[in-house]
Amino acid sequence: MALLGAACGGGEGGEGGSGGAGSGGGTGGGSGGSGGNGGVGGRGGAGGAGGMGGAGGGNGGGFAAIVSKEVYDAMFLHRNALYAYESLVAAAETFPAFCNEGSLDDRRREAAAFLANISHETTGGWPAAPDGPYAWGLYFTQEVGCENGGCTGYCDATNQEWPCAPGKTYHGRGPIQLSWNYNYGQAGDALGLPLLTDPDQVTSDGTVAFRTGAWFWMTPQSPKPSCHDVMTGAWTPSMQDQMLGRAPGFGMTINIINGGLECNQPTNTKVEDRVGFYLRYTQMLGVDPGPNLYCDKMASY
């Protein structure tokens, strides 16, 4: 889908996109461009497939059968208390197809890919960080510098379908750094939550936070496929996609999330960070990372 715009916390803005929590930014829905270090841009409508109830679900046991609490705790040594394992498991139940379609290896790779991308969006790590830079995912709950309501730039006053509520801000929040009023509105409609009038739910309720992340992951934003479909083999690149270098694999999830700033160019540190998290998690889950980890040769949307 598409996330958000200029970041208060120091991340670069996107093509209508956003940056991550640690580096500024957010997430949202649409077929527009990609956002900053932590997000995606655009303001198109959210697709329905893979939304509430998933795309038919599966019988593999879902996320909890792929990632145990012990492994989760080992992955996130410095996580914020908002991001409890139990909250993610509860959120995953909203989308039965999440980490529950395809082969066992597909499900493991999907879990690793989801966790890697949200880790990048919320990382508190740095190259010389204790335990290594990839042990610091899920550290920030919202855009740095926006905690006290100072980031008011994420309101599109022209949007009448999802108007900004008085006194509310729509900066990056949660694991996918949801940003902009129209993205809070779309996510709220899909999840049955009043996120326009109470956006702070995303930083006060861990299950709500993870539900916004899973909603983004599962929902295709035309012309983009969903990250879920990419990682489970349900997406087949069209002839045009193939000509533009788009291929199944972790790199394609980067293209969906933030292709405008991170893909179709020499690999930058943001992509290396995402891939670093992904390789750590696939190793911990005992699965080959698969092909096409990078997106430097993929045209963005």
pLDDT, tens digit, for every residue of 181-221? 999 999 999 999 999 999 999 999 999 999 999 999 999 98
Instruction: Please say if the pLDDT value at position 61 is more than 90.
Output: no
15 falls within a domain:
no
237 falls within a domain:
yes
Instruction: Please tell me which residue in 110, 121, 143, 262 is annotated as part of the active site.
Output: 121
Bridge partners of residue 178, in order along the sequence: 27, 173
CA distances from 177 to 11, 105, 132, 194 (A): 12, 28, 23, 17
109 falls within a domain:
yes
Is-catalytic flag, 262? Answer: no
What pLDDT is stored for residue 60 in this prediction? 64
pLDDT, tens digit, for every residue of 249-277? 999 999 999 999 999 999 999 999 999 99
Domain count, the chain: 1
Q: In terms of residue numbers, what domain contains 100?
A: 62-285
The whole model's pTM is what? 0.84
Residue 223 preceded by cis peptide, ω within 30: yes
Residue 19 corresponds to which tokens in the numbers above? 């940056």
CATH of residue 207: 1.10.530.10
pLDDT above 70: percentage of residues in the chain: 80
Instruction: Please say if the pLDDT value at position 46 is more than 80.
Output: no
7 falls within a domain:
no
Q: DSSP string spanning 167-236?
A: T-----BTTTTB-SHHHHHHHHHHHT--TTT-TTHHHH-HHHHHHHHHHHHH--BTTBPPHHHHHHT---
